[in-house]
Structure formats: C-alpha cells, structure tokens
C-alpha cells in the first residue's frame, strides 16, 4: 500500500497518544541519547497483515530508526514468532510502540479471520468479501487486510458501484424503476446490484437487468432456490448473519460471493507484543 494512504492514520494515532506533552514516562525514565533494539512478536498464531505499515510509526517519530521486517505480508505465524526488529532511540521506540501494536493487531486479526473463512469455503465457487461496515478512517487499511487474508473487497464507498438497497426500493417503488433511474444516471462501466429479501423480488431484479443480486438474510433453502432461478445469469451474493460455523453451508448453495460484515467491524485483534532486548 502506498505510504500516502496510511501515513495520516499513523500521524493521527501518534498525536492522540503523545498528546500535548509527549511521553511523560519515557522522558522521565529514559535518557534522551539512549538507544536499543526491540522485537515485534506474535503472542498467538495468525496471519500477519500491515506489518511494515504499522512499523512505520517508529520511523515517523524518528526517521533514523531502523526497521527490519522478518516475515512476509500474509505469512501464517505461530506463537512467539519474531515479526520485526526495530533499532533506534529508545524514546522513539517506546513512544510509537502502542500505535504500531494496535494497528498491527487489528489488521492481522482481520486477515486471520478472513483466511479462516476462505479455508472454510475451499472447494466451492464462493468467494469471501468484506462490506462497508468498517472503522471510520480505517476503511482502506481494513479492506487491505481482507485481501491479505485471501478475501475480496466489496465496494469501497458509495461512489464506485451501485447497490440498490431496501430503502431505495421503497423510494423508487420497486427494482425495475430503481434500476431504470440508475441506468439513466451512471456510465456503462458501473456495475448495478440490487438487494432482495425474497424470490419475488429476485425475479423483479433479474427482469430489471442487474449485474448482481444481494440475497439478504435468506435461509439455505431459499439461497439454493435463488441460485437455481438465477441460472448463472447474474452474480449471486449471500449476506446477513453469516458466521464461521455457517459459511460452509452457505457456500454449498452455489452462491458466487459471501459478504461478511463482521470481518471488519468485529474480528478479534491478533495478540502482538513489543519487547526490548537486554543490552
């Protein structure tokens, strides 16, 4: 990921942590000239995402800091794995430690959860996607972590694809009118998807000429029937309440995509640590 995309996030997080007076504890305990080396470690197994991005927090506090990345992006690691070695002024290392670990743990947690879901649907044609249910200000990073975990991204925002949802259908009076309005407004390269809650709405959406249908909160029987009715004419996306223990059954219905909101809003962080080496 290009640095200009994530550097503002790191700068905001560092400013939030260091506040108006800096790191009071380190400035009292650690001599200004003291240097050392710390290790970024995994405290549990998982998939690593955003390691170099997160470690840039150290360099932003002190450009003279040396960061050595020891595992590749997307690597699966075991408990105790050393992920990076960071050397430089100790005040900078300690001042950026929590920002680095918070972001690394969050992104790696998303990647770890995504990889587990991707493995759960292996052998089917279904692909695992995230949604727009992201942390404000962190969407690009969270969607990046999903890709590192083997998933795909749904639309990034309201401006890069059309998704006609239930409230749009209420306003327009149905899928046909909503899609007609959309087609009259957007260019030919913009994909159009319509959210449907039942098979009658599905038929209306297909007749309206959509590119994809979002099958919202349908049970397995209706998902299978929806896939049969579509017959490969459009992309089928299952969404709503999908969990690790249910995703394999959803994939077995034959849907093209399974979108999972909790990947970005509720995936548990991976436990990571930063430990100074004894000098």
Which residues are designated catalytic? 98, 133, 165, 195, 216
In a 10 Å sphere around its CB, with 0-12 CB exposed, 13-18 middle and 19+ buried, how is residue 109 labelled? buried
Q: Per the structure block, which two tokens stand in for 14?
A: 């560092």
Total residues found in the chain within this entry: 279
CB atoms inside a 10 Å sphere around CB 222:
16
- What are the C-alpha distances in Å from 111 to residues 74, 130, 142, 145? 8, 11, 9, 5
What residues contact residue 198 under an 8 Å CB cut-off, 6+ apart?
Answer: 218, 222
Alpha helices, DSSP H only, in 89-174? 90-120, 139-148, 166-172
Query: Pick from 192, 275, 269: which is nearest to 237 by CA?
Result: 192
Q: Are strands 35-42 and 66-69 parallel, antiparallel or unpaired?
A: unpaired
For 229, half-sphere exposure in the C-beta direction (CA atoms, 13 angstrom radius) is 19
Q: How far apart are CA 214 and CA 243, in angstroms?
A: 17
CB atoms inside a 10 Å sphere around CB 144:
22
């Amino acid at each position: 990921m290009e640095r200009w995309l994530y550097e503002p996030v790191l700068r905001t997080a560092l400013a939030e942590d260091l506040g108006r007076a800096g790191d009071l504890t380190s400035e009292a305990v650690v001599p200004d000239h003291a240097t050392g080396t710390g290790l970024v470690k995994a405290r549990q197994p998982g998939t690593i995402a955003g390691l170099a991005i997160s470690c840039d927090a150290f360099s932003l506090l002190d450009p003279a800091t040396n960061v050595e990345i020891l595992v590749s992006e997307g690597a699966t690691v075991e408990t105790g794995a050393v992920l990076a070695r960071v050397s430089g002024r100790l005040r900078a290392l300690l001042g950026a430690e929590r920002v680095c670990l918070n972001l690394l743990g969050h992104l790696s947690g998303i990647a770890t959860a995504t990889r587990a879901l991707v493995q759960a649907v292996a052998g089917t044609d279904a692909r695992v996607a995230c949604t727009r249910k992201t942390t404000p200000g962190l969407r690009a990073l969270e969607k990046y972590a999903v890709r590192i975990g083997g998933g795909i991204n749904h639309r990034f925002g309201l401006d890069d694809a059309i998704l006609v949802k239930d409230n749009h259908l209420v306003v327009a009076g149905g899928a046909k009118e909503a899609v007609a309005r959309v087609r009259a407004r957007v260019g030919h390269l913009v994909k159009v998807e319509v959210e449907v809650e039942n098979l009658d709405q599905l038929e209306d959406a297909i007749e309206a000429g959509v590119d994809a249908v979002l099958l919202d909160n349908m049970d397995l029987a209706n998902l299978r029937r929806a896939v049969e009715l579509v017959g490969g004419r459009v992309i089928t996306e299952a969404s709503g309440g999908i969990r690790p223990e249910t995703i394999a059954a959803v994939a077995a219905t034959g849907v093209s995509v399974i979108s999972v909101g909790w990947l970005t809003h509720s995936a548990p962080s991976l436990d990571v640590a930063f430990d100074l080496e004894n000098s």
